[in-house]
Amino acid sequence: MQLFKSTVGRKILMAITGQLMVLFVVVHLLGNSSIFIGPNGINAYAEHLHSLGPLVWVFRLVMLTLLLVHGIYGAVVTLENSAANPAKYAMNTKLERGFASENMIWTGLLLLAFIIYHLLHFTARVTPGMTLQNDLQGRFDVFSMVVSSFQHGTIALIYVAAMIVLFLHLFHGIQSFFQTMGWNNDCSRPVISKVGRLVAVVFLLGYSSIPVVILARILT
Amino acid sequence: MSDHKTMTLTLIVWRQKNANDPGKFETYTAKDITEHHSFLEMLDCVNEDLINSGKEPIVFDHDCREGICGMCSQVINGVPHGGQERTTVCQLHMRKFKDGDTIYIEPWRAKAFPIQKDLVVDRTAYDTIIQSGGYTSCHTGGVPDANATLIPKEVLDYAMDAAECIGCGACAAACPNSSAMLFTSAKVAQLAVLPQGKPEAAARVQAMLNTMQECGFGNCSNHYECQAACPKGINVKFIAKLNREYLKALFK
Ligand code: HEM
Ligand code: FES
């Protein structure tokens, strides 16, 4: 089909799947912040999510599809782009592009690695160094699991580093989505770009705050 | 020319005998250059010295030398056309440089623009893209009255801004992906807003994009390097417009 072969079609697929994942990143951040309410907040939230039963699996399947489509086309377009530009300039001056826009494939692949680790850690719960128990109400104690994990400097560091990588990916990615969809013009583009970068900063600070306050023993 | 202060510059120039030659950089000295020389005139001086000493002159493309034809095509210190805003190489003047400067001069580099000799590349690929849809099919007959088809001023201005493209190739040369999206989008956008271009808009955008891909240009990653390098100030809003035209065409 046109959409899957065309240069713009594939970028549109990447943009939509990328932006839907950004939407998930927003919701996930809101959910995670229930940890600041304490064990009751996040344990109840987790219990509620798991009570959705088969819907959880439908949701996981959708997320997996988004990630696969986005990741595969990300790799395809990147390979094509380097094939289109085999000889580099001896003097390479950057006008508009920057570290974030040039390294989308690397920040993307690092995100993939992080997602796998993150699922093994808090979903499959098979990585070492955390307390797995039920709370007093008999719910799985997500709060203790998270707090005991982030009291390890290495684990907290991995999460903060991953959020820096996410920040870099979305620093370019969010405004790029609007350009790819054609939802901008020359007046709105700089504004969209700034707002997109601001959202990326909010993700960085919001997500990183959890491991940081736990490592600093502010949240125990 | 009132002042007789001259500059001496070191040029590091890409030399390549033909399409199959691997090519290499050579270093030259440009002497007695004044600030009033254009960049191409400076190269003319260097070439005269080379010819006088029995060496092959540096081959480069140029034609109008007044910034309208789009033939001149050199990457100067890593920037197509040398980095002065809205300026082609032929309109770049040596007052932008100072005595003792070292200047890198390279050809456009993109797989779709094969180097033919020194700084000359083959830009047929841009013609191929235009031939695949960058036109309107007109019926022959009498010349229509100028006021037969009315076009609102803002639409006309938009189309004229897009039509400023001189097809020099700087956008693809500047793009880290060697994508020709700015060039392709300027023509798609120009014709998509005009009544004469509208009937073929959907077929045009798909055909021109397919041809762009077939010619070996890369995909757009929205780096916006092209807009910064364009000597005619073509805006990346036309790429957004092309993307919209593409989406519309999908549902046709
Ligand atoms: C498998 C992991 C991933 C890989 C390999 C990957 C790769 C890429 C690449 C290479 C691009 C730039 C494409 C281009 O313009 O040339 C990109 C864009 C983007 N990515 Fe990712 N990415 C991954 C995961 C993610 C995740 C988890 C998110 C969201 C949280 C995301 C959001 C975006 C967005 C919004 C864009 C901009 C789309 C556009 O240019 O229109 N990506 N990705
Ligand atoms: S020679 Fe015509 S634009 Fe430079």
Average pLDDT for residues A110-138, to the nearest whole number? 94
Is residue B166 located within the same domain as residue B132? yes
| DSSP of B5-23 | --EEEEEEEEE-SSTTS--
pLDDT, tens digit, 9 for 90 and up, residues A160-186: 999 999 999 999 999 999 999 999 999
Q: Which of A61, A81, A54, A209 is nearest to A146 (CA)?
A: A209
Is residue B12 located within the same domain as residue B83? yes
Is residue B86 located within the same domain as residue B204? no
Is residue B100 located within the same domain as residue B218? no
pLDDT band at A1 (very low <50, low <70, confident <90, very high): low
Domain ranges of chain A: 2-215
Average pLDDT, chain A: 95
CB–CB of A101 and B242 under 8 A?
no
pLDDT, tens digit, 9 for 90 and up, residues A44-87: 999 999 898 899 999 999 999 999 999 999 999 999 999 999 88
pLDDT in tens for each of the 252 residues of chain B? 455 689 999 999 999 999 999 999 999 999 999 999 999 999 999 999 999 999 999 999 999 999 999 999 999 999 999 999 999 999 999 999 999 999 999 999 999 999 999 999 999 999 999 999 999 987 778 888 888 889 999 999 999 999 999 999 999 999 999 999 999 999 999 999 999 999 999 999 999 999 999 999 999 999 999 999 999 999 999 999 999 999 999 988
Task: Output the pLDDT for position B140.
Answer: 74
Task: Output the pLDDT for position A174.
Answer: 97
Among the candidates B117, B140, B167, a domain finishes at B117
Task: Output the pLDDT for position A152.
Answer: 95
pTM of the model: 0.94
Q: In terms of DSSP bridges, do strands B115-117 and B102-106 run parallel, antiparallel, or are they unpaired?
A: unpaired
Is residue B107 located within the same domain as residue B168? no
Angle, helices B124-131 vs B181-193, to 10°: value is 30
Among the candidates B117, B144, B169, a domain finishes at B117
Residue B235 lies in a domain: yes
Is residue B47 located within the same domain as residue B137? no
CB–CB of B175 and A83 under 8 A?
no
Is residue B132 located within the same domain as residue B220? yes
Is residue B110 located within the same domain as residue B169? no
Q: Which fold has domain A2-215?
A: 3 helical TM bundles of succinate and fumarate reductases (1.20.1300)
Best residue of A1, A4, A7 to probe chain B, by most B CBs closer than 10 Å: A7
* Count: domains in chain B: 2
Q: Which domain holds residue B147?
A: 123-251
Among the candidates B50, B82, B117, a domain finishes at B117
Is residue B15 located within the same domain as residue B104? yes
Q: How close is the Cα of A176 to the center of ligand 1, in Å?
A: 10
**Mutation pick for ligand 2 pocket among B44, B72, B74, B92 (CB with most ligand atoms within 8 Å):** B72
Q: Which of B89, B130, B92, B91 is nearest to B108 (CA)?
A: B89
Residue B1 lies in a domain: no
Is residue B195 located within the same domain as residue B216? yes
Task: Output the pLDDT for position A162.
Answer: 98
Is residue B102 located within the same domain as residue B154? no
Q: Which of A112, A88, A108, A84 is nearest to A176 (CA)?
A: A108
Which residues in chain B are contacts of A92 at CB distance < 8 A?
78
Q: In terms of DSSP bridges, do strands B7-15 and B102-106 run parallel, antiparallel, or are they unpaired?
A: parallel
- Whichever domain contains B108, its CATH number is 3.10.20.30
Task: Output the pLDDT for position A191.
Answer: 97
Residue B2 lies in a domain: no
Evaluate whether B208 touches A163 at the Cβ level (below 8 Å): no
Burial class (CB in 10 A: 0-12, 13-18, 19+), B48: exposed
Residue B224 lies in a domain: yes
Is residue B152 located within the same domain as residue B241? yes
